[in-house]
Amino acid sequence: MRVVAGIHKGRQLKAVPGKSTRPTTDKVKEAVFQVMGPFFDGGICLDLFAGSGSLGIEAISRGMNRCIFIDKHPKAIQTIKENVRSLKIDESIEVFRADAYRALKAAAKRELTFKLIFLDPPYGKVDYEELLNEIVNHQLIETNGIIYCEHDPAETISFSLESFRLVKQVNYSGTIGVTILEHIN
């Protein structure tokens, strides 16, 4: 696993030990960032269910100013911190061990808004529509902000919210489903 593009291109990243996470492959990262960016002119991103932090780190490498990483597993938090230290990007990040919904409420209390949000929860464990509603209700996504949803390819992300436009929905290699949404109002 490595950083695909930007100022940290080619740098290796550690994966979370064990089988509790599924790292997003470099090939998938490259493809989805071509759709979402591929480069950014500043902004804050949120990497919810962050695992190793590779998606948020990729966003920083491609021009995001800051990233907030959230995961509830201690091994994931430790791995994110190691990856961040090795790239010397400590000043650009915040890492919190928390439940996703609690983290969204905390971000709302801080009046944060994000240009990019990554949602990559354990497959089949999260109701995406409920999660998207929370993000909109707490006003956490900027207008024209992007939400990346990674899911089981057999799962279809439904979003009845009028707040979003479907940018892309695709399955990669029959193992990863990706839905990319743009917040339109």
The answer to whether residue 15 is domain-embedded is no
* C-alpha to C-alpha distance for 150 and 118, rounded to whole angstroms: 8
* C-alpha to C-alpha distance for 157 and 121, rounded to whole angstroms: 13
Residue entry with tokens 């490259």: 30
Q: What is the pLDDT of residue 26?
A: 82
Range of the domain at 103: 26-183
Count of the separate structural domains present in the chain? 1
Residue 104 structure tokens:
């969204």
Residue 155 structure tokens:
């799962």
Whole-model pTM above 0.85?
yes
The answer to whether residue 11 is domain-embedded is no
Q: How does pLDDT run across 77-115, given as a tens digit for each residue? A: 999 999 999 999 999 999 999 999 999 999 999 999 999
User: Domain of 137: which CATH number?
Assistant: 3.40.50.150
The answer to whether residue 150 is domain-embedded is yes
* C-alpha to C-alpha distance for 91 and 84, rounded to whole angstroms: 9
* C-alpha to C-alpha distance for 40 and 131, rounded to whole angstroms: 25
25 phi and psi, to 5 degrees? -65, 155
Asked whether the predicted pLDDT for residue 119 surpasses 90, the reply is: yes
The answer to whether residue 94 is domain-embedded is yes
The answer to whether residue 20 is domain-embedded is no
The answer to whether residue 153 is domain-embedded is yes
Residue 78 structure tokens:
């430790």
Q: How does pLDDT run across 30-78, given as a tens digit for each residue? A: 999 999 988 999 999 999 999 999 999 999 999 999 999 999 999 999 9
The answer to whether residue 16 is domain-embedded is no
HSE-CB for 138 with a 13 A CA cutoff: 22
* C-alpha to C-alpha distance for 122 and 154, rounded to whole angstroms: 14
28 compared with 147, residue with greater pLDDT = 147
Q: How does pLDDT run across 163-174, given as a tens digit for each residue? A: 899 999 988 877
The answer to whether residue 161 is domain-embedded is yes
